[in-house]
Structure formats: C-alpha cells, structure tokens
Structure 1
Amino acid sequence: MIRITPFGGETPKLDASLLQNGSAQRALDIKLEEGTLLPIRQPRVVEQLTALAMTIYLNGDEWLSWPGVVNVAPAPIAEDRLYVTGDGAPKIIAGDVTYPLAVPAPSRALNASLGAGAVDPDLSQTILYTYTWVTTLDEESEPAPLSNELLWSQGINVTLTGFIAPPAGRPIDRMRIYRSQTGALGDTLLYLIKERAVSTASFVDISGDNPIQEQLPSLDYNQPPAGLSGLVAMPNGMMAGFVGKRLYFCEPYRPHAWPEKYILTTDYEIVGLGVFGSAVAVMTVGQPYIVAGTAPDTMTMERIEVNLPCVSARGIVDLGYSIAYPSPEGLVTIGTGGAQLVSRALISRDQWQKLKPASFVAGSFAGRYMTAYTAGAVTSVLIIDLTGEQPFITYASDHATAMFNDIATGSLYYVRGTQILEWDAIDSPPGSYTWRSKLFVHGGHINYGVFQADADPVDGAAPAFTARLYADGALKATVTRPNDVCRLPSGFLARIWEVELVSNMKVRAIALASSPSELAL
C-alpha cells in the first residue's frame, strides 16, 4: 500500500526515487502550508500602469513606478517623504513634488568689515563668519567658505556682504548666519547668531544683539554622491547606499547629508544592500560583508570568508530574519550567524544555473523567498520555503518584472505586463495546481487495485479533481472522483508507481492499495 500524507514540495537535487514519501517531483501553483495540498488563489489586479515598470512602490494609497531599477526608502523623519536612488542623481519625494536630494551650499565666502569704533587690544579676539541655506523641509546645507578674519572686540558692529541667492531646484527659504568663538581651551567653533529669509542684502551683526546660539551642525555634511545607489533604511535614523566599493551612511535623521568621514570601503564592487537588526548585509561580486553599529561613526565592517558573490541586486530580499540573495552556487542567507548556502540540500549547482539566477526579480511572501526568472524561452516563478523543518521548492506559472512587499499587510505585489497584481489575494478565487509524487520503486512487480483521495472543496470554486496514475512510466488510470474508492485496471504488473494530481481542492491524503479492505487499515 502507498499512502501519502502530509504533502511537501520539490527537492530537485535528489533522484525522484529517493525523495521522502510526501515530497514531489513537481509542485506547481500550490500552497503547502498545512501538510495538505491547497491551490494558490488567482492574482488580483490592483493598478493599471501606462508603461512597463521595473520598480514599483506603494506610497500610501498611490502606486509609484519607474521604468528602470531604483531603490526607494521611507524617510526616518517624516511620513510624507521618500528617498530614491538609481533614477539619476538621488532624489527626495515630498508630498507630490520630487526634488534632488542634495541641498546646494553657498559657494562664495562672505566679506566681513568692522564698523565704527576702536578695537580694544586687551579684549580683542579673532572672529570669522559663514552661512548656510535651509529648505522648507528644514534641511540645512553645508556652510559657505569662511569669511576673512577680523580682529574684533565688544561694542563694534560687523557688516557682512557677499550673500548669494540659492540656485533653483530646491525650496530654500532661509539662511542661517554663524560667527566663530574661541573657548577657554583654545578651540574655535561656529555658532548660530541669526536666521533670516533668503536675501542677498548685507547683514549687520550689531554688537550685543546677536548672542551665540547652537553650534553649526552641518560643518562635516557632504552632499550625496550623484551615483549613490542601493538605498536602504536602517534603525536610529540612518540610511545606507553605495558607489562602487564605497559604502556610505547619512547623518542620523538627516538623509540629505552624507558625510564622507563615514565611508567604508570593501575589497569588491558592491552589488546591493540589505538590513537585519542594526546591521547591513553588503553583497558584492566577491565575498559578502556584515557592517554593524548603532551610529555612522561606530559602524564596523566584517568580511565573511565565503566565496558567495551576489549575481542579481534585484534578487536580494529581506526575509525578516535574514537577507537572502542569489549566488552562482544557490540561495544564500545572511543573518546574525553569518552567511549560509541554504539551498545546498535542495538543488544542485547545475540545476540552479539553468534557472539563470542573474535574471532573478525577487520578493517574499509569508516568509518564503519568491523570484521570477527567465531562462531562455522559459519564464516562471521559483518559491523556496525555508520556514519549516524540511525546506522545499515549488513553482508558479507566472512572471514578474518587479515585486514589492507591503510590510504593513504582508501582501506581495508584482508587475506582469502593465498591470500591478496582488499575489494570492485573499478575496480571489482559487486557481488550479499540479502535484506529482515521488517514484515509488518496489522490489518486485505488483498491481494496485484501488485508489482513494481525501479531499474537500475550497470556497470560491466549483470542485475539480483529476488524479493520473502511472506505472513504469505509462499512464494506466485517470480518476476524477475524490473521496470515493475507485477501482483501477487490472491485467498488468509494474515496479515503479507515481501519482499526479491536478485540482483546485484541498487534499489531505491519497492512497493506493490492493483492495478496499486494505484502505481501511
């Protein structure tokens, strides 16, 4: 007797005769969440695009799309801002307006001149001035070059000239003027003395009217490099991106400022980034890295000594507990335990290479790694389930040019053609699946007389069920009545048996037996 329950997915690396009893030669368009066979629900169209898209992002109730590969991250400081890299120079989307992310800085130094009065040589000090621009989003630029030095004492006014108007492209509405002060220990710092509307008019620093306030925060700010890509959001208000081998971090809670003093450099060109906990997984064309810390100036970089390069930036996925990416050897995950080739026992290197992992466009659903791939004329979706004790693979007869995970709802959205669809939508009718058993190889030749499937209808669809029974590779019977004890043809013996199911029903178990009485055991 052959009885199959619970059901599992594929392990392509093993010969079909060596699979576990519930494992499959083929598992297509199927859910294997309860040990039963369940159909994946049909996708639901949520948006019609006007053009092909390789990147999508759900911003509130609005779908954003791009024809190229970009990275989008929400702001760590305001709900109505998004940051984008990969679409030309880095950008910020605030409300319905897109701006360059870089905030320009004044390029010309101020000219400072003393007003009337004599400098007291016993109370004199050397002072300098600078100023910054500030946007309507409260982003402050780097300071202008320092002014000329002045020997100054209390009671003397200082006139500042040489202010320039900011360039177009950024909503700059204010400027902040700073004056230096030397402390008792001899350190000279710049402090805010006045904020005013943007103007090219001169400013008079009237002695006694402009006491020092907070220290200049943007002295070490740098604009994001024009080629910044791979943007990811991190805890503690940080964001990370890269250019070539250089890994950049923004000033915490200041995504417009990317100080060069925070740059870390890898040995290999960076392909993409992922975040888990307070660490960044850095995937490269060589060995991967983990960069960890709670602030940009405390980040430490560790190279993982495994030769597992990343072959597709679009195949990098946050699984919640780790970051997954495709390598030439198989699927790799990076987490607190380092890097692991998690597909090693599932699929051989040759089988993996045939899927063309460089073509992967991936996302996740219910903790599973899902990727669309293109191998010659074949387009399909590969699903790797690592959530249980026994990992397995399934496939879906679909394709995608972009995927997006909505963390708030756990939904997976993808682009097919010019439509955005929701995967396995809860309010959609079930589709139909195909599941084919392992090869059951007997020591001698036998004949099974009966077949039975334990199955229930699924809401939203008229029950459909077909079971095909193969003996020594030849189709011997087709059964369309689940739950009934179905007689099988006699007059032949076979050593190798297998069953293929095509259905939209929930199947708990199937059995082949010599007689009906044997099924009851």
Structure 2
Amino acid sequence: MARIAINQFDGVMPIVAPRLVPETAAQIAINCNLERGRLEAIRDPKYVKALDGISFFRWARTDGVHLWINWSVDAHAILHPSVSSRMCIASSTFDYTRVTDQDIYPTYRRLGVPAPTKAPDVSSPEGFASDTDEVARISAYIYTYVNVYGEEGPPSDPSIVHKVKSNATVVVTLHPPVATTLTPLGSVKFRIYRVVVGTNNADYQFLVETTDTLYNDTKQDAELGETCPTVSYDPPPDGLDGLIGTSNGQLIGFHDNEVCFSEPYIPYAWPIEYRIPVESQIIGLGYFGTTIVACTKTRPYIVTGYDPSALAAAQVPFDQPCLSKKSIVSTGTAVYYAGPDGLFMVDESYTGQIVTKALFTRDQWQALQPETIMGVWHNERYYAFFHGSNTGFIYDPSRSDIVMFDIGGQPIIDILYSSSGDCIYLKTATKVFAWGGADTWRSYRWRSRKFYFNHQRAMAVFRIDGDPPDDAMNLCFTLLVDDVPVVSKRVIQRSELGVPLRLPASAYGHTFEIELEGTTSVDEIRVASSVDEVADDE
C-alpha cells in the first residue's frame, strides 16, 4: 500500500536536493499563482499602449488624466511633494534635474534656482560718503533669482560696502542669468536684500522684488522686511541620479559617492551641508520611513536622522555590493536588492541578510545573472524581471520560496509599479503591458518533490480535485517513476476531476514525481496503489 497526497502547493527551493524538498514544495514551479495555497495559473500580460524609450513613468495627474512619460535614457521620476500637479525627474545623463507641470508638459524646467554668478554693482548720483560726510547708513546688497513658480534661489555674493549719505539714492545694478540658465527657469524676477547693521551682527533684509535690472534705493532701514531665507537653498547637483521621496516630504538622490537631500517639502532647495558622503560609489537608493539605504559597489550604508542638518551615515557590515540599480526595491519596512550571493535585505533593525540564502547556492544565484534583475514590490512579494528577457521570479518572504515565470512576447527592458493603478507595468522597446491584466491564462508547470519508498511500490490510480477557470479544461498529469515519465494523461473533461483515474501497470518503482501542466486550478492531487486510498477521507 502506498499513497502520495498534496493539498498545498508551494514554490521551489533550488538549493534543496529533490528527495529532501518539503512535501508541499516543488522542484519546478513556472507561471504558478500559489497565493491561496492551491495551484492556479497566472494571467497573461495585457497590452496597454505603444511607447518608445528605455525608461518610463505613469503620471496620475490631478485632472484625472493618466499620462505615460518616456525617456531615451535611464531616468527616475517622482511626484512633487508639495505641489501635486508637478513632477520631478532626475538622470545622471541630464544637464540639470528637471521639473514639469500639467500646464507645460512636455516642456521641462530646471529644478532648483542657481545663485547669481556676479555680485550687484552699486553707485550713487550724490556720491558715497567720505570720512567727513554725515553717514546715514552702511550699505551692501545681495540679490536672488526667483523662477516662474515663485521659487527663490540662494543669494549672490555681496556688493562692495559703502557709506551712504543722508537722503542719497543708491543705484543697484543686477545681472540676469545667462541664457542657458534662464531658459529652464522660465521668466525670472529678482529679490534684492540690503544689509542692516545691528549691535552684534549684520543681516541682509528684504528690500524689493523687481523684474528690472536697475533699482533706485531710497528706503530707510525701518522699511526693510525679512532676513534672506534662502542662503542655503542650493540647487541639486547636476547629474543627480536615483531620485526617491520619503514620508517627511524630502527628495533624495545621489551624485558619485554622496547622498543628497532636499529641504522637507521644498524640493528645489538642496543645501550643500545636507550631502552625506559614503566610502564607495553609489549604485542606487532605497528607504523605509525616514531611513535611507545607499546601495553601493561594496557595502550598503544607512543614513538616518530626523533633522536633515544632523544626518549620519553608518556602514552595514556585509560585503554585498549592489549588482543592479533597478533591482533596488523599497517596501516600507525594508530595502531589497540583488547582491552577488542572493537577494539582500536591509530592514528596520539596521542589519542585513541574504533572504534567498536558504533557496539558492551562490552558483545557482549567479547562473540567474542577478546583474540583470529589475525589481518591484507588489502584494507583499518581490517580483524580479530579467532585463532583456521575458522571464523572472517571484519571491514570497512569508513562504520563503520562489516561483519562476516566463510570459513570452518581446523582451522586457523596464518595469514600474503604479500605486494609482495598483499594477505592475512592463515595457518592451515599443510597448507597455500590464502584468496579469489579460483575460487569457498562462499555462503553468509544477513538479513535486521526489517521493521515495524503501521498497518498490506500484501506483495504480490518481485523482485531481480542482476546477477550471472560465470553465475551460486545460490540464496534463505526468507521473515520473525512477526519473522516467511513465504516463502523461490529459484531463480534458470536467467530469474527470474529483474521481479516480487509472494508471498503467508500469507505474512501479522506488521514486515518484508528479508534474502538472495547464491552466486548470488544482486543490489536491492524490496518487495511490488502490482506489480506496484516493477516495474522500472519512
């Protein structure tokens, strides 16, 4: 008497020998949906639209329009943290980090406002005071640029300090940005600030906002306004890459080996003192909460701190370089990326671990070409797509197993998860597809562990319980005995589900493996030496 019964279907653990795989786990699991424990097929991708380029973004605009953006370079886009109708885009290949809005797209402007490169010139028709003249005040000036969004950049160097006579006029001459800088800023205004000398310090206070390059200053100190608030509002460095956003309204990117931070909810201000160097070249960034994980060519680093002016970087003590920028995935509680030994995770404990260590040997992992992995997080699972192919895998942390997939069609070159659509989108060279969005099903293949009996056994019957999706039967049962397929039976009638079906006399040996292919959903498979053993349990 012998019986095999499988009533839960799990993924693969390639590191484990076929005879040692857990009873519900698989040697092969391709295109299987195992979320509910039963064996189900995944749906085919659904065609969405034609789209060129090598990277893309789905912009869910505030006017209800969903706009597809594409670039011919590897770019990162993120919604503006304080103005929902704007979008920020960064790429190491861009001359400057970009911003656009619903009214001007596809035109882009520069994110951030540069400081003027020249100090203001000052003169006075009455002449400046000499040592013998009555002095009304000590004056020096700075000025800033203000872009079309009303965003103000850092100030110029100060003008020469002069002593101003009583009732005299000071003519302040400003220098507009050069044309190459002006164009991405949109129209520019100037804000002029004048020094006010106090008992202990000197502050530059607001004088006037103007569009003219000449201003005649006759104001008294008491008429001046606030102190210049944008002294540290440097623009992001040119070539900023890996743009991400955190829950505290900051944008973060990297440049060479520096992690760069914006002011919270002021994404055009990237103070130089908010740039945190690490000891290795950065590949990309991830985050959980307000903690940033810098994935580098050597070890990962974590950058922590609620106050952006008091951030600190610490090395995670694992030699796990990041092999693929697009493999970096932020889940809310952890960051995953493809390392040389497996899928690596840094979590809220600020430690790291190879989460696939119990699934792959290093050689097995390397054979997958982890440097090609593009990852997204969806439904509490890590979806890995191999760049330039139609294949990948799904890692389920709750089950600690893997399901492979092969979706056919053109090679995938980029992916993204859209929270507004709650969908993974796949990009080929010319088209966009929605993962699992079609009405058709992708045929699965699932092979059990190798069940071993000390003495040879004869299996006589099998039984499959399940149901076909859309009432379309598509199921093939194969039994391998001592590594040889001895029967391959297509189950084509719904009436063949839930009843014993005969096996040939050749189903006799020490080891048995069950393989199922098709789209019919399976709840349980039983193989036994007698009809009674596959009957419903009492």
TM-score (norm 1): 0.93
1:441 pairs with one of 440, 443, 452: 452
RMSD: 2.2
Letter in 2 for 1:391: S
Is the contact between residue 80 and residue 88 of structure 2 (CA under 8 Å) also seen in structure 1?
yes
TM-score (norm 2): 0.90
Q: CA deviation at 1:482?
A: 2.8
Q: For this pair of structures, how many residues does the alignment match?
A: 510
Query: Could you tell me how far apart the structure 2 residues matched to 1:173 and 1:210 are?
Result: 27
- In the alignment, which residue of structure 2 is the partner of 1:408? 420
Q: How does 1:86-485 map to 2 (within 5 A)?
A: 86=91, 87-89=93-95, 90-95=97-102, 96=105, 97-114=107-124, 116=126, 124-152=136-164, 155-164=167-176, 167=179, 168-169=182-183, 170-184=185-199, 186-196=200-210, 198-200=211-213, 202-208=214-220, 211-337=223-349, 338-373=351-386, 380-386=391-397, 388=398, 390-398=399-407, 399-425=411-437, 428-459=439-470, 462-479=472-489, 480=491, 481-485=496-500
Is the contact between residue 281 and residue 290 of structure 1 (CA under 8 Å) also seen in structure 2?
yes
Q: CA deviation at 1:492?
A: 5.4
Q: CA deviation at 1:166?
A: 5.3
1:79 pairs with one of 84, 108, 125: 84
Q: CA deviation at 1:203?
A: 0.9
- In the alignment, which residue of structure 1 is the partner of 2:15? 13
Deviations 1:478-507 (A, max 9, x none): 231332210111155210101111121221
Deviations 1:42-85 (A, max 9, x none): 11111111x3x331110120111123221112111211222212
Matched, 1:67 2:56: no
Question: Which sections of structure 1, spanning at least 5 residues, go unmatched?
Answer: none
Q: CA deviation at 1:451?
A: 0.2
Is the contact between residue 105 and residue 133 of structure 1 (CA under 8 Å) also seen in structure 2?
yes
Q: CA deviation at 1:234?
A: 1.9
Q: Identify if the C-alpha distance between structure 1 residues 165 and 15 changes in structure 2 by more than 3 Å, giving closer, same or farther.
A: closer
Which SS does the other structure have where 2:455 is aligned?
A: strand
Query: Could you tell me how far apart the structure 2 residues matched to 1:355 and 1:237 are?
Result: 37
Is the contact between residue 468 and residue 477 of structure 1 (CA under 8 Å) also seen in structure 2?
yes
Is the contact between residue 54 and residue 67 of structure 1 (CA under 8 Å) also seen in structure 2?
yes
Q: Identify if the C-alpha distance between structure 1 residues 491 and 458 changes in structure 2 by more than 3 Å, giving closer, same or farther.
A: closer
Query: Could you tell me how far apart the structure 2 residues matched to 1:21 and 1:118 are?
Result: 93
Query: Could you tell me how far apart the structure 1 residues matched to 2:120 and 2:277 are?
Result: 36
Letter in 2 for 1:229: D
Query: Could you tell me how far apart the structure 2 residues matched to 1:273 and 1:228 are?
Result: 12
Query: Could you tell me how far apart the structure 1 residues matched to 2:9 and 2:166 are?
Result: 86
Q: CA deviation at 1:162?
A: 4.2
Deviations 1:395-437 (A, max 9, x none): 1113521011112332110113421111112x62332211111
